[in-house]
Amino acid sequence: MSSASRPLASLALAAVCAAFTAGSTFAAAPQVKTQAPGYYRVMLGDFEITALSDGTVQLPVDKLLTNTRPGQVDKALKHDFLKAPLDTSVNGYLVNTGSKLVLIDTGAASLFGPTLGNLLANLKAAGYQPEQVDEIYITHMHADHVGGLMAGDKLAFPNATVRADRHDADFWLSKENLDKAPADAKGFFQGAMASLNPYVAAGKFKPFDGNTDLVPGIKAMAARGHTPGHSTYLVESQGQKLVLWGDLMHVAAVQFAQPSVTIQFDTDSKAAAAQRKLAYADAAKQGYMVGSAHLSFPGLGHLRRDGAGYVWVPVNYNGLK
């Protein structure tokens, strides 16, 4: 090697050594093991819709789903590269109409285990404060939908009026129903009471009965079956529609292809299945956007009919500016 080429060779060797050194340093960095804040926004006409994640919870859906044959659930999950217990999203939806800030469902807070309870933090990460929420609409009073109403012993949303169907309130807030419920069902009543009663005491709970116009652009629609007063919410702006289903369905890999499959959490499984079939057919026919509490976050998309069942088409990602 000539004396002139030696400096170049030395520089090349130094660069290679530096690359290996840097690589080993980066590989030693600790894994973070957390997700980004769980919020996702879309526009619906003039309304801003923000999906909020409360987290995920592992559910033994192979044991919880009913009106199905042995092995049918496992086969459907495997088809979608899933298995039980299934990581199941819990979603809420924030609607900014321009004049009202409305939250639909509040997540579980501490009522459903340590992997949930993130909705309030994600609402703040999304640029809002709980004090700004004007109205809260509850699809039904199961713990993973109402637990987030409270932050410890304080109202999590001190300026909000809470609304839900009277049939759910009469059922879940009844001490008589709590007393006669089997031991493994008492927690449903206790969670609802702990979450709703402080708002009742503060004069901030205002029930409705069935199909009801709530604020301009948002309407409650009776969809009873999963619970006695289960409601969906129609959000509409500039001719664009979003229907928020609550718990009309739970497991996409199973219940879109097989709408008759029900779940043990249903108060009236036959009525719940009938409501699901009606909702699926209407969404597929009209083509509007839907959102659901337990679809993989953000749980927003469209439904397309496929033979006797349906196919779920998630919203296309949009990096809003």
Q: Is residue 170 part of a domain?
A: no
Would you give the distance in Å from CA 210 to the centre of its chain? 22
Give the separation between CA 242 and CA 202, rounded to whole angstroms.
31
- CB distance 305 to 284 below 8 Å: yes
Same domain, 277 and 296: yes
In angstroms, the Cα distances linking 96 to 48, 138, 245 are 5, 16, 18
Domain identity same for 107 and 214: yes
Helix (H) / strand (E) containing 281: helix 269-286
In the predicted model, is pLDDT for residue 11 greater than 60? Answer: no
List pLDDT tens digits, range 63-102: 999 999 989 999 999 999 999 999 999 999 999 999 999 9
Q: Would residue 185 count as lying in a domain?
A: no
Closest by CA position to 251, among listed 60, 106, 118, 114: 60
pLDDT bucket at 14, cuts 50 / 70 / 90: low
Confidence of residue 24 (pLDDT cuts 50, 70, 90): low
Structure confidence at residue 285 (pLDDT): 98
Whether residue 285 lies inside any domain: the answer is yes
Cis link prior to 70 (omega < 30° from 0)? no
24 and 87 in a single domain? The answer is no
| Overall domain count for the chain | 2
What confidence score (pLDDT) does residue 70 get? Answer: 87
- Structural domain contains residue 199: no
Which residue range is the domain that position 99 belongs to? 39-140+208-314
Residue 169 has pLDDT above 60, yes or no: yes
Q: What is the pLDDT of residue 28?
A: 84
34 Cβ neighbours under 8 A, 6+ residues apart: none
Question: Of 10-19, 38-47, 181-190, 307-316, which range is least confident?
Answer: 10-19
Q: For residues 5 and 136, state if they share a domain.
A: no
State the DSSP code for 206: -
Nearest to 97 by CA among 52, 46, 51: 46
Together in a domain, 20 and 45? no
* Whether residue 102 sits in one domain with residue 65: yes
152 — alpha (psi -120 to 50), left (phi > 0) or beta?
left
Domain CATH code at residue 275: 3.60.15.10
**Percent of the chain, pLDDT > 90?**
87
